[in-house]
């Protein structure tokens, strides 16, 4: 007998595997560090609340294990990309209590991929972004003069961040691999959900080249116009995921992050 309870009791036998319940429902069974699984489950439920974009349903959780519905993966057409752009705007508009707030029931000590992410709240986005997103990963990935450059760039965040925005309900790890396309719409998986700046999700979509990106952005901007100069701020918002990747994988990600910091430090 294959049931959610049996899958949770038996574990996943690996990080992620697929299974089929007795009623024919295809599911994903995921196991991992308990706080990471708890954060992901809470994030999926929080992102699903507005009904704005496709989100897999969490069918059950146990200590370090989660069962959720499986989303078949396809390719987007222009219509699906437009719907996703408008839906993402509605998801962000659903809001969050503060910058850094975790989803209801989610842990403060959360994760983005394999990197730790602390959900500490603040009302001021530039200072919160520097202290609780950029600098923690920079300190783990860089040192010496490189870390000094990041610290100098952080001092400029208030000057280059654009007009104040209310806290948005962010996916938080919205690179192209975490967006699936099925049934004429976009679905989001593997969130690092928290309250943040809506431009951060959009910058992450651009970082690794999401398909139909310009269509998504145009639909988003039509539904919820972005503040003037938002394209000039893409690098600012990509700095955090670049440093996460530098921490996890090293290589050229640190150099990319430092190039962003050099541009920010020079901006008048």
Q: What positions carry a catalytic annotation? A: 173
- What one-character-per-residue DSSP string does 127-157 give? HHHIIIIIHHHHHHH--HHHHHHHHHHHTTH
Query: How is residue 84 written in tokens?
Result: 């996703």
Answer positive or negative: Cα dihedral of 197, 198, 199, 200.
Answer: positive
Helices 198-207 and 213-223: crossing angle, nearest 10°? 170
Cα 229 to Cα 74, 137, 262, distances in angstroms = 33, 26, 19
- Asked if residues 64 and 32 have their Cβ atoms less than 8 Å apart, the reply is yes
């Amino acid at each position: 007998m294959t049931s959610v309870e049996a899958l949770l009791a038996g574990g996943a036998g690996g990080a992620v595997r697929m299974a089929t319940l007795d009623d024919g429902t295809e599911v994903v069974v995921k196991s991992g560090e308990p706080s990471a699984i708890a954060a992901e489950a809470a994030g999926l439920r929080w992102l699903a609340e507005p009904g704005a974009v496709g989100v897999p349903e969490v069918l059950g959780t146990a200590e370090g294990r989660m069962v959720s519905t499986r989303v078949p993966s396809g390719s987007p057409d222009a219509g699906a990309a437009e719907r996703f752009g408008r839906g993402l705007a509605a998801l962000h508009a659903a809001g969050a209590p503060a910058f850094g707030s975790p989803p209801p029931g989610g842990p403060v000590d959360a994760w983005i991929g394999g990197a730790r992410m602390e959900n500490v709240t603040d009302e001021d986005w530039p200072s919160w972004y520097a202290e609780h997103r950029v600098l923690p990963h920079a300190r783990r990935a860089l040192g010496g003069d490189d870390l000094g450059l990041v610290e100098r760039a952080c001092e400029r965040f208030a000057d280059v961040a654009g007009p104040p925005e209310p806290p948005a309900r962010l996916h938080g790890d919205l690179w192209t691999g975490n967006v699936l396309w099925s049934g004429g719409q976009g679905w989001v998986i593997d969130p690092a959900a928290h309250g943040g700046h809506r431009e951060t999700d959009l910058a992450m979509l651009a970082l690794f080249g999401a398909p139909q990106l310009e269509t998504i952005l145009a639909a988003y901007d039509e539904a919820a116009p972005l503040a003037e100069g938002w394209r000039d701020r893409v690098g600012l918002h990509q700095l955090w995921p670049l440093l996460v990747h530098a921490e996890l994988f090293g290589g050229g990600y640190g150099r990319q992050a430092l190039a962003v910091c050099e541009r920010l430090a020079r901006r008048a």
